A and B are shown apart, each in its own frame.
Chain A
Amino acid sequence: MKLLANFTKTFKENIRDWKIIILVIVFAPFFVYLMNMYLGNSGTTVYHIALLNHDKEGIFAKELIHEWKEIKTEENASILNLIPVSNSEAGKKMIIDRTADLFITIPAGFSTSFKHYTQSKKGMLSSLTSYGDPKNIRTMMAASFIDYTTYNFIGFRTGIQIPFNIQFETAGIQKKIRDFDLYVPTMLVLAIIMMLFTAGASIIREVEKETITRLSLSKLSSFEFMTAISLNQILIGIASLVLTLLAAYTVGFKTEGSIALLLLTGVITCFSVVSISIITTCFIRSMFGLLTIGCFPFFLLMFFSDCFMPLPKINLVNLFGNPFFLNDILPTATAVRVFNKILNYDSDIGDIGFELIWMAVLSGIYFVAGVLLFRRKYKY
């Protein structure tokens, strides 16, 4: 009865303190639209190529450029955006400014050397030069497209057949995944990470207003107190998750993954964030502290959950055939992977079972640690 009464009371307080709830709930959907603005409309990423053509009149140079332009998506959109430049400095500056991913120079006499080779089968073609920033992953991608197309073109026009071919197949289901689609799981986790503040506020409010003393006198246990708050926060988290997913749907995101599994993962992730929030509140005593010191775990969670950028995975160990990455000590990091599997690869419970169990166990450990710390700090 105490748990139910405490749940109802916290629920009413949350609803009446609606401003913070609204802020938390709309945060991730807002970022979905923002992300879609940058990535959604292009469907597939477009790579920008600065092009300096010294062989303007050459027929083969024109044909090669045409081949590059013909690299297209299933929706017939060009993958390479060729930007003519007048000199080498301009092209290199674009690489430094990152307004171009690759800078290609076609030398004068390229077509002449091409013609000569096709007729005599002797000598070498004039070399194309490419210039890029190896630290920019887009440079590598753009170079791959250019290389692949160029070798095919040369092979076709010279009749030289390379006795080797790479057949590309998609992972998992045969579904076209846009860059934007890969960010949706991250946005879902972001929606839940925001609960760090609402969960923290629910706890700190009781400490700051000293109502925790009344609860302590009534012998309401820390466990009951925290469980009631956790259940409320899970409701908020799931509402935020559903809104974020709906926002993604409105901008063209599609999934055939199990929504039930998605919600189950959401509930476990919410529980983990609440647990981390409980631990956080043990180091602060006021709302001001929550909004300042509380930002530290918030950004840590975001960073290690790939919300800023995808981090390289450091594999610590393999457990029952499943890789265990360093980031997995934070359940939200695992959640990004699980959401991605469900939404983009239609994974079933068999595929994500290990991760779900891991997240639940880890969240449980964090929850117990949080309650014990809270009890120690507030003698409650």
Chain B
Amino acid sequence: MEAILEVEHLEKKYGDLIAVNSISFKVNKGEIFGFLGPNGAGKTTTIKMMSGLLKPDKGNVIINGENKLKSIGVCPQNIVVWENLTCHEQLVFMGQMYNIPAAEAKKRSKELLEALGLSDKKDKLAKTLSGGMLRRLNIALALIHSPVIVFLDEPQAGLDPQSRVLVRDYIRSIKHTTTVILSTHDMEEAEKLSDRVCIIDKGNILALGTTEALKKANHSDTPFKSLEDVFINMTGRSLRE
């Protein structure tokens, strides 16, 4: 498999706290890569460094063989939209910010709105949308420029079951053109979607592989029943801040 993203000895410290401790991994082109960890594990810091929003203390992020962070999409955990723009306007605007010609951006906007079930809200201001609709718009904004890699941070948080299915199907449908790095606390969703998962805690990678391989990696004779069992086994039951 061809690696589209290579993370080499990535490290970030905040004072004495080691948020990310020299982690290395590769993400293959066209896969959905689950990036899992409890709160404060270092996921968001790693994603920020991979997307170029945060400068690492050490290490490299190589995308498509280049040490340049380009053609990346980021869907943050928070809903980040322009409240006083319509769905269509903000998608076209973001397209233009990525140097996509207006006509092409408009076409792409229509495609995304249709794919994410927002066609009838095309001309509605974002501030009038429901939480679920905003969540889908949040995803669309990350994909308007057809990035080669997209980071989706809790993309399905707060979605109703119908919307979850729609978003899940859509994420699956784009993986051939856009590699997806999925960060979530929803183990069931991660298991359903991810080709491989990486479990991180306290800045260190605890496990990396397919969900089936991780489930079988139990030291006892009985494999884990679910990814959640694997996760709890590795990260423990203690509550995090």
- On B, residues with C-beta under 8 Å from A are 51-53, 55, 72, 74, 76, 78, 80-85, 89-90, 93-94, 96-99, 102, 125, 141, 145
Contact = CB atoms under 8 A, between A and B. Distances in A.
B85 A13 contact: yes
B97 A2 contact: yes
Contact of A220 (B84, B89, B97): B97
Contact of A12 (B78, B84, B145): B84
Contact of A217 (B72, B84, B93): B72
Nearest to B147: A217
A1 B99 contact: yes
Interface stretch (A78-86, A103-111, A205-213, A315-323): A205-213
A5 B84 contact: no
B82 A211 contact: yes
16 contacts: A2-B96, A5-B97, A8-B93, A9-B90, A12-B89, A13-B82, A13-B85, A16-B125, A17-B84, A209-B83, A210-B80, A211-B80, A213-B76, A215-B97, A216-B53, A218-B97
A66 interface: no
Interface of A: 1-2, 5-6, 8-9, 12-13, 16-17, 209-211, 213-218, 220, 379
A167 to B, nearest CB: 63
7 closest Cβ pairs, A-B complex: A218-B97, A5-B96, A16-B84, A13-B84, A210-B80, A9-B93, A220-B97
B139 to A, nearest CB: 13
Contacts of B141: 214
Given A17-B84, A209-B81, 15 more contacts: A1-B99, A2-B97, A2-B99, A5-B102, A6-B97, A8-B93, A9-B82, A12-B84, A12-B89, A211-B81, A214-B80, A218-B94, A218-B97, A218-B98, A218-B145
A210 B76 contact: yes
Contacts of A8: 93
Contacts of B85: 9, 12-13
A19 to B, nearest CB: 12
A17 B99 CA distance: 27
A210 B76 CA distance: 10
B78 A217 contact: no
Contacts of A215: 97
A8 B99 CA distance: 15
A371 B117 CA distance: 39
A153 B113 CA distance: 89
For the residues of A in contact with B, the DSSP-based class is helix
A305 to B, nearest CB: 32
A217 B96 contact: no
Contacts of B72: 217
Between B52, B84, B99, the greatest number of chain A beta carbons within 10 A of the residue's beta carbon is seen for B84
Contacts of A9: 82, 85, 89-90, 93
Contacts of B81: 209, 211
Contacts of B125: 16
A221 to B, nearest CB: 11
A9 B102 CA distance: 13
Nearest to A217: B74
Contacts of A220: 97
Nearest to A215: B97
Contacts of B80: 209-211, 213-214
Contacts of B98: 218
B126 to A, nearest CB: 10
Contacts of B52: 217
Contacts of A12: 84-85, 89
B93 A213 contact: no
Contacts of A16: 84, 125
| Residue in A8, A9, A214 with the greatest tally of chain B CB atoms within 10 Å | A214
A213 B84 CA distance: 17
Given A2-B99, A12-B89, A214 B94 contact: yes
A13 B93 CA distance: 12
Which of A2, A9, A209, A379 has most chain B Cβ within 10 Å?
Answer: A9
Residue among B52, B72, B82, B99 with max Cβ neighbours from chain A (10 Å): B82
A225 to B, nearest CB: 10
Contacts of B90: 9
A210 B53 contact: no
A217 B69 CA distance: 9
Nearest to A17: B84
A17 to B, nearest CB: 6
Nearest to A210: B80
A8 B81 CA distance: 16
A227 to B, nearest CB: 14
A17 B125 CA distance: 12
Contacts of A217: 51-53, 72, 74
A209 B97 contact: no
Nearest to B83: A209
A166 B177 CA distance: 90
A12 B53 CA distance: 28
Contacts of A216: 53
Nearest to B51: A217
